């Protein structure tokens, strides 16, 4: 079977700031049509990696290929991007801002700008000055600007940053629709795990500039060796608590529903936990496994004391 040219590949991508390595031999694989979540805690190196990928800052080592292209000018023709908070000429209309960008970048005509405004749901508001726009509308206009020139790859750095839950949902729905209605490949960074889990089919998780897991969300979440969360209830809550605290492969993780305790298990089956508690004299009234999600995966990969 012939495999398609990957949309984005980085190989050994490295960037230092003085003695600090912000991006460390990072390898990323994004296939055409992927909605790829680029995850990592604050300071993990996401923005730095994205700037290197886009050629906005120099890289110290490694390669970047975008649809097979290694030449930065040819790469740019395939990519639309929004890095951190987009800035506009506030007094100028939304359309005026996009026209200016199109003229400056030498790509995108009037119909292209119309299409971008329609895709992000700002059609009908395009003549208004940007200063009248809410944060969510600005963020959508930033995405529209990235879409001018009909890129094949859309790169977004924290597009829901600073938005309220409704604004976040709007942007998420917009990206979801874009992915479904166009051939676009979307690469989106965030540290909001549940956001990404709802939107992305594949993710890469980085920490200290290094890739620590990459693959399909479902596969990663279902993978072996992770952490399982359960909620445990007992009439004698204090006794339950001290029994759990005595186990070194079990970690208390706060309160669950209805007076239950939330517990993270590293390689311990819930049934085994139950047996242990019973033999420790704790009458267990409830033991409810929690659905695994990206957040738990993230914890299992990054919380060293329990794995």
Ligand X SMILES: Nc1ncnc2c1ncn2[C@@H]1O[C@H](COP(=O)(O)OP(=O)(O)OP(=O)(O)O)[C@@H](O)[C@H]1O
| Residue ranges that bind Mg ion, judged by CB under 5 A | 46-47
Regarding 208 and contact with ligand X (CB under 6 A), the answer is no
Tell whether residue 44 is a contact of ligand X (CB under 6 A): yes
183 binds ligand X (CB under 6 A): no
Give the residue among 195, 190, 99, 205 at the shortest CA–CA distance from 148.
99
Regarding 136 and contact with ligand X (CB under 6 A), the answer is no
CA separation for the pair 8, 151 (Å, rounded): 13
- Nearer Cβ to Mg ion (46/202): 46
Shortest reach from residue 44's CB to ligand X, in Å: 4
When asked if residue 160 is in the footprint of ligand X (CB under 6 A), the reply is no
Residue 22 sits in the site that holds ligand X (CB under 6 A): yes
The residue to which tokens 């993270």 are assigned:
264
Smaller CB separation from ligand X, 17 or 89: 17
232 forms bridges with which residues in the sheet? 261, 287
Beta-strand relationship, 35-39 and 202-207: parallel
Pairing of strands 153-157, 185-190: parallel
Q: Which is nearer to ligand X, 44 or 119 (CB)?
A: 44
In whole angstroms, how close is the CB of 40 to ligand X at the nearest point? 5
Output 46 or 115, the one with its CB closest to Mg ion. Answer: 46
Residues 187-206 binding ligand X (CB under 6 A) are 191
Nearest approach in angstroms of CB 278 to ligand X is 44
Binding residue (CB under 6 A) for ligand X from 48, 97, 139, 228: 48
Which listed range, 41-49, 89-97, 132-140, 246-254, lies at the site for ligand X (CB under 6 A)? Answer: 41-49
The least distance separating ligand X from the CB of residue 146, rounded to whole angstroms, comes to 18
| Least distance in angstroms from the C-beta of 266 to Mg ion | 30
Q: Is 40 in the site for ligand X (CB under 6 A)?
A: yes
Residues near ligand X (CB under 6 A):
17, 20, 22, 40, 42-48, 191
């Amino acid at each position: 079977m012939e495999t398609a040219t990957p949309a984005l590949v980085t190989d050994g991508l490295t960037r230092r700031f003085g003695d600090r390595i912000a991006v460390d031999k990072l390898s990323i694989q994004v296939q055409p049509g992927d909605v790829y979540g680029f995850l990592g805690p604050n300071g993990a190196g996401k923005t730095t990696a994205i700037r290197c990928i886009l050629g906005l800052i120099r890289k110290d080592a490694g390669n970047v290929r975008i649809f097979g292209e290694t030449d930065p000018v040819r790469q740019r023709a395939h990519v639309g991007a929004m890095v951190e908070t987009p800035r506009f000429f506030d007094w100028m209309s939304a359309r005026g801002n996009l026209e200016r960008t199109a003229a400056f970048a030498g790509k995108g005509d009037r119909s292209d700008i119309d299409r971008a405004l329609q895709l992000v749901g700002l059609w009908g508001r395009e003549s208004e000055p940007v200063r009248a726009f809410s944060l969510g509308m600005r963020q959508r206009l930033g995405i529209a600007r990235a879409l001018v020139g009909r890129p094949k790859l859309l790169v977004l750095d924290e597009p829901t940053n600073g938005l309220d839950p409704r604004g976040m949902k709007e942007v998420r729905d917009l990206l979801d629709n874009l992915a479904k209605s166009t051939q676009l490949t979307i690469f989106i960074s965030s540290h909001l795990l549940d956001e990404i889990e709802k939107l992305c089919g594949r993710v890469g998780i980085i920490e200290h500039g290094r890739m620590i897991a990459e693959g399909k969300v479902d596969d990663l979440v279902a993978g072996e060796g992770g952490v399982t969360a359960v909620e445990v209830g007992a009439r004698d809550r204090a006794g339950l608590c001290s029994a759990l605290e005595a186990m070194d492969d079990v970690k208390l993780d706060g309160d669950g529903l209805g007076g239950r305790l939330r517990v993270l298990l590293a390689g311990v089956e819930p049934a085994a936990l139950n047996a242990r508690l019973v033999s420790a004299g704790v009458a267990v009234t409830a033991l409810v496994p929690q659905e695994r999600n990206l957040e738990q995966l993230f914890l299992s990969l990054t919380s060293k004391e329990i794995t």
